[in-house]
Amino acid sequence: ANSEGIQLVDLDEDGVDRAFRADVLAGLGQPQKAIPARWLYDDAGSQLFEDITQVPEYYPTRSEKEILENRGQEFADAVGSGRAVVEFGSGSSVKTPLLLEAIDPGAYVPLDIAGDFLRAAAADLSAKFPGLPVYPVEADFTKKVQLPAEVADMPKLGFFPGSTIGNMVPRSAVDLLRSMRETLGTDAMLLIGMDLIKDKDVLEAAYDDARGVTAEFNLNLLRRINRELDGTIPVQKFHHEARWNDTFARIEMHAVAEEDVTFSVADRSFSMRAGETIHTENSHKFDARSSNTLLLAGHWTPIARWTDAQGRFSVILAEA
């Protein structure tokens, strides 16, 4: 997998995740220290992300939900009935039912690398939609996935909500969209959430909430490094920063050293000057044109686009 991709867990004889250690050591060795954002999501980080979706400043989850709640009839008209909905990621308990209720699908196929989450999400959905065939597939969806034979003859609707695509640099995002196209085949459609470019202050507040939940989410990565990789990072000497990078149209999360620090991770030592940062996440934002360009580069043709009442978030329908 690439640095932002999904990988199976490969533990060494001490139970250390080899890929995590390799990414952290490589990332801390760069002139601009950087660690791939996927490592934010250990159990504590996943819970903190759930908490982020509830803070007042973090609008994307609420805005996307508003679109899914209000535009169901329009989705149904655009996609027709009987499609196999293929969700990339294990499905959120809130968003997925909104889509499935709206469109009269033929089947639901959640794809995820993490089998436990996948089975839990699939069981949840089966209980909510008793007549709907559900076929969970444990797979790395950054590559072409072989879908179950039961849905071979159904046209597919890919579903990728949450602006998760925005956490990838364009090169990786394009690769992922092309893999999705390969997985879903001809006649497929894709419904994808993309967060919109907006006022810098609104964006920075969404990623630096007053309660400090996003700060905890970010600094939890440093704690995770200390826990899992025998690290001595003095976390209390770092603070969270959310920065708008206008050139790349993205919010960046950084962990900023407040004073000169030295520490070790997995027996390697590192030092940072006061003000130096570890870059921990990108969250790209789009306008209508840039989202269309990304989709086209990913071998998808955009055909419809919806936004919430405040114009903060977009949900785009594209066809293969």
**Angle between the 95-103 and 72-79 helix axes, to the nearest 10 degrees?**
60
* Helix intervals (H) in the chain: 18-28, 43-52, 60-70, 72-79, 95-103, 115-128, 170-184, 200-206, 213-228, 288-297
Using CB positions, name the residue nearest to ligand AVI: 283
Q: Does 162 bind ligand AVI (CB under 6 A)?
A: yes
Burial track 243-254 (b if 16+ CB lie within 10 A, e otherwise): bbeeeeebbbbb
Residue whose token pair is 């030295």: 262
- Among 27, 45, 60, 136, indicate the residue that binds ligand AVI (CB under 6 A): 60
- Among 90, 96, 142, 163, indicate the residue that binds ligand AVI (CB under 6 A): 163
- Among 68, 281, 295, 312, indicate the residue that binds ligand AVI (CB under 6 A): 281
- Among 166, 231, 298, 302, indicate the residue that binds ligand AVI (CB under 6 A): 166
Q: Does 244 bind ligand AVI (CB under 6 A)?
A: no
Q: Does 89 bind ligand AVI (CB under 6 A)?
A: no
- CB neighbour class for 210 (10 Å; exposed up to 12, middle 13-18, buried from 19): exposed
Binders in 15-44 for ligand AVI, by CB under 6 A: none
Q: How far is the CB of 230 from ligand AVI (least distance, A)?
A: 26
169's CB contacts (< 8 A; 6+ apart) are 4, 282, 284
Q: Does 164 bind ligand AVI (CB under 6 A)?
A: yes
Q: Does 52 bind ligand AVI (CB under 6 A)?
A: yes
Q: Does 291 bind ligand AVI (CB under 6 A)?
A: no
Please give the backbone phi and psi of residue 43, each rounded to the nearest 5 degrees, phi first: -60, -45
How many Cα atoms within 13 Å fall on the side-chain side of residue 262? 3
Tokens representing residue 16 in the block: 């250390």
Q: Which residues pair with 34 in a beta bridge?
A: 279
Stretch that binds ligand AVI, among 121-129, 142-150, 160-168, 292-300 (CB under 6 A): 160-168
Q: How far is the CB of 264 from ligand AVI (least distance, A)?
A: 27
Choose between 155 and 277: whose C-beta lies nearer to ligand AVI: 277
Q: How far is the CB of 277 from ligand AVI (least distance, A)?
A: 16
Tokens representing residue 316 in the block: 């785009």
Q: Does 75 bind ligand AVI (CB under 6 A)?
A: no
Stretch that binds ligand AVI, among 12-20, 63-71, 132-140, 158-166 (CB under 6 A): 158-166
Stretch that binds ligand AVI, among 9-17, 77-85, 161-169, 225-233 (CB under 6 A): 161-169
What is the rounded distance in angstroms from the CA atom of residue 127 to the CA atom of residue 193? 26
- Among 142, 283, 291, 314, indicate the residue that binds ligand AVI (CB under 6 A): 283
What is the rounded distance in angstroms from the CA atom of residue 138 to the CA atom of residue 81? 26
Binders in 197-216 for ligand AVI, by CB under 6 A: 207, 214
- CB neighbour class for 184 (10 Å; exposed up to 12, middle 13-18, buried from 19): buried
Binding residues vs ligand AVI (CB under 6 A): 52, 60, 162-164, 166-167, 207, 214, 217, 281, 283
